Amino acid sequence: APAGARVVSTWDFGVGANAAAWQVLGAGGNALDAVEAGARWAEGELCNPTVGRCGNPDRDGVLTLDASIMAGDGRCGAVAFLQDIAHPVSVARAVMEKTPHVMLVGEGAQRFAVAQGFPRTPLLTEQARRAWREWRKTAEYAPQINAERRQRPGDQSNHDTLGILALDAQGRLAGACTTSGMAWKLHGRVGDSPIVGAGLYVDDEVGAATASGVGEEMIRNAASFLVVELMRQGRSPMDACREAIERVVRKRPEASKRLQVCFLALNKRGEVGAYALHKGFVYAVRDAGPGPHDALREAAS
- The residues binding ligand SD4 (CB under 6 A) are 50, 158-161, 179, 181-182, 191-193, 212-215
> Smallest gap, in angstroms, from Cβ of residue 213 to ligand SD4?
5
Q: Is 102 exposed, middle or buried (0-12, 13-18, 19+ CB in 10 A)?
A: middle
Q: Is 64 a catalytic residue?
A: no
Q: Which is nearer to ligand SD4, 26 or 181 (CB)?
A: 181
Q: Which is nearer to ligand SD4, 64 or 168 (CB)?
A: 64
Determine the Cα–Cα distance for residues 166 and 181; give it in Å rounded to an integer. 22
End-to-end CA distance of the chain: 33
Determine the Cα–Cα distance for residues 87 and 94; give it in Å rounded to an integer. 11
Kindly name the residue from 10, 64, 161, 210 that is annotated as catalytic: 161
> Smallest gap, in angstroms, from Cβ of residue 193 to ligand SD4?
5
Q: Which is nearer to ligand SD4, 160 or 168 (CB)?
A: 160
DSSP 251-287: H-HHHHTT--EEEEEEETT--EEEEESSTT-EEEEEE
Q: Which is nearer to ligand SD4, 214 or 265 (CB)?
A: 214
Asked if residue 260 lies in contact with residue 278, where contact means CB atoms within 8 angstroms, the answer is yes
> Smallest gap, in angstroms, from Cβ of residue 291 to ligand SD4?
27
> Smallest gap, in angstroms, from Cβ of residue 214 to ligand SD4?
6
Angle at 217 between CA 215 and CA 220, to 5 degrees: 110
Q: Which is nearer to ligand SD4, 72 or 191 (CB)?
A: 191
Q: Which is nearer to ligand SD4, 18 or 48 (CB)?
A: 48
**Residues in CB range of 254: below 8 A, 6 or more apart:** none
> Smallest gap, in angstroms, from Cβ of residue 157 to ligand SD4?
8
Asked if residue 56 lies in contact with residue 132, where contact means CB atoms within 8 angstroms, the answer is yes
> Smallest gap, in angstroms, from Cβ of residue 20 to ligand SD4?
19
Active site residues: 161
